[in-house]
Amino acid sequence: MTTPTASPLRNPEARRFLNDRLDWNLLRTFLVIGQEGSISRAAARLYLSQPAISQALKRLEEQLDCALVVRRGPRISLTRTGEEVIQIAAELYGTVSRLGPALDKPAETVVGKVRLLTISRIQSRAYDEFLAQFHLDYPQVELEVDVLRSSDVISALLQKTASFGLGLCRTPQPKLEQRVLLQQRYAFFCGKRHRLFGRKNLGLSDLLDENFVSFTSDQIGGNLSPLTVFRDQQGFTGRIVASSPSLDEIRRLVGAGYGIGCLPEHIVAADVQAEEVWRLPPWEGVIDVNVYLLWHREQKMNQAESVFLERFQQMLMTTDPAERF
């Protein structure tokens, strides 16, 4: 008779891994999966795509090195280990939700400097409110913010020349921790000088020979390479006539009529409302791209950096992704 394999959560080494390295946001997503009983219902509740939820489940199972669910068509059931993990996740989320009142009045004076590298045009009420509250609670902490390309943010973090970064990270970096801040949906737009502006009843086929304004990372191997793959798969034949690493410059060039461009929907929502740019098919959008909070897992942090990270992660764990815009 085969001896049952012990649950990895009872293994001391696994417990150390769980404490030190596990992405707690994956636990929160798994909690919703367990509560809803299906990937699609969990995706609808969290305002995320089904592939994003499935990927989060896969990552959690890989980090714990065990199966957590059994799939039966559209429904899922929990394995024995999955039931144990869901209980831990529920207890954890309940504990974190009670941290707010305890942190309303910081018990100590925190001083030091936090250097944050970020991509441009991050629009998030939850992030803005986090920064405002952090400054109220820790007014003696100096915050230095530099705007860079995602690739430069990652490079600086790997060299330990910055505390934290906010950016795209298509390929996980072994030395960097990452937590999802936002999921941005990219879609095609054109400016009022473009021949497609104002036209209704368009289909994707109407875009295939249009020229493009493109991010410099929109290439195979870049952080926005899924845009490149999408165009290739759909048979786009237009050429790239202008490019920039800056979202603001891409928006400017699209508005100037250089070509159509792929931009985050929520970033240009006001421009669409003002009829400065025009939404183009496909109507469900092109790709979903995560913006991550990133930091080097071996970085020695000062007091200010440690508190900043603790509070940032608390915000991420206690807000739904849909509430962060």
State the Cα–Cα distance between residues 232 and 237, nearest whole angstrom.
Answer: 8
pLDDT at 220 over 90: no
Looking at the structure, do residues 176 and 122 belong to the same domain, yes or no? Answer: yes
pLDDT digits (tens, 9 = 90+) for 225-261: 889 999 999 999 999 999 998 999 999 999 999 999 9
Looking at the structure, do residues 264 and 193 belong to the same domain, yes or no? Answer: yes
pLDDT at 37 over 60: yes
CATH of the domain at 53: 1.10.10.10
- Owning domain of residue 154: 106-182+290-323
pLDDT digits (tens, 9 = 90+) for 22-34: 677 788 888 888 8
pLDDT of res. 191? 97
Higher pLDDT, 133 or 8: 133
Looking at the structure, do residues 110 and 90 belong to the same domain, yes or no? Answer: no
Query: What confidence tier does 319 reach under pLDDT thresholds 50, 70, 90?
Result: confident
In a domain, 91, yes or no: yes
Domain end call among 41, 76, 97: 97
Buried b (16+ CB within 10 A) or exposed e, 128-165: eebbeebeeebeebeeeeebbbbbbbbebbeeeebbbb
Looking at the structure, do residues 203 and 268 belong to the same domain, yes or no? Answer: yes
Looking at the structure, do residues 36 and 169 belong to the same domain, yes or no? Answer: no
Give Dmax over CA atoms of the chain in angstroms: 74
Place of tokens 């490079």: 155
Angle at 148 between CA 145 and CA 153, to 5 degrees: 90
Q: Length of the chain, please?
A: 325
In a domain, 2, yes or no: no
CATH of the domain at 239: 3.40.190.290
Structure tokens at 286: 């092109």
Number of domains in the chain: 3
Q: Rounded mean pLDDT of the chain?
A: 86
pLDDT at 3 over 80: no
Looking at the structure, do residues 59 and 205 belong to the same domain, yes or no? Answer: no
Q: What's 216's DSSP letter? A: T
pLDDT at 321 over 80: no
Rg, C-alpha atoms of the chain: 22
In a domain, 1, yes or no: no
